[in-house]
Amino acid sequence: MQNKRLLQDIGLNAYETAVYLSLLKYGVSEANILCRDAEIPYGKIYTILEALARKGFVEIQASRPKKFRMVDPAIALDSFFEKRKIESEREMVILKNYIEETKQALKSIPTQKLKDEVFWTTAITESEIEKIVLSIYGEVKKSVRAIPFPIILPNVSNLLPEILKAIDRGVKIKLLITPYHMTIIPVFIRQGEKALDKLKKAIEIRIAKNIASSFLVIDDSVVVLFQLHPTDKDRILSIVKIWDKGLAKSLGEEYDSLWSRGGQLDLEKFTNERELYKLGNG
């Protein structure tokens, strides 16, 4: 029973699974014997055996009557994996081309926007929160002004691929942190030279004390707010993403005020984690 499930899990259908397992018992057999043993309709047995041969599980002797030999499972499964890998890679290339073509085509569709449009969405589960945070850097076009929430910082490495893609699109990032946030810097400086060079050029960091807020302002039109769990101070209850230019302008002004009081932090000075430790504990 387990063997059937395993073979079906890798992509064989029920009939193919039954026939291959029968052939494993016989080693070499004719179709009529396999048909009876696997309890397969006779009208389907040759089609199934030919499918198994294409997938690398069966070899066919072109005699009268035809005979069929099982391919050793270790060899057959490795070969099957390599074929599926090549097919998947080819499919991904084709899909990527279709995706790019579709993106270009959909750009030409005009979207009517309300003058004072306000829209919001929220995330409350861990997977939803991760998704919405990733979407921030996937959608940003020009700028991010951020006072990060401390609990998110250990997961910043998961964000870096999207952050680097945003930087490649020309996005500029301002990061206002407190001494408590300093654990974010080692994540940056441990990146490869190419990635670190991008981060240095695109991310401006300032450090300030006594910042009670945590929020993001995206492209001067979107605001992201964090809500701490009322009974667990180490967990975020929810994230709210709000499309509201008025609110974005208001919080942007608040951000700029806090930013002006912060001290410049240069990533070039923190290539040594010992220096970073001294600053965070000085």
Domains, the chain, ranges and CATH? Answer: 2-73 (1.10.10.10), 119-281 (3.30.870.10)
State pLDDT tens for residues 47-62: 999 999 999 999 999 8
Residue 265 token pair: 């932090």
Judge contact between 198 and 164, C-beta under 8 A: yes
- pLDDT, position 201: 86
Whether the CA torsion 192, 197, 198, 204 is positive or negative: it is: positive
- φ, ψ for residue 227, nearest 5 deg: -120, 120
Judge contact between 222 and 241, C-beta under 8 A: yes
Judge contact between 18 and 39, C-beta under 8 A: yes
Q: What is the amino acid identity at position 159?
A: L
- pLDDT, position 230: 78
- pLDDT, position 147: 87
Residues in the chain where the model's pLDDT stays below 50 = 153-154, 274, 276-280, 282
Residue 122 token pair: 């929220």
* pTM as predicted: 0.61
Would you tell me how many other CB atoms lie within 10 Å of the CB of residue 159?
19
Name the strand (E) or helix (H) holding 177. strand 172-177
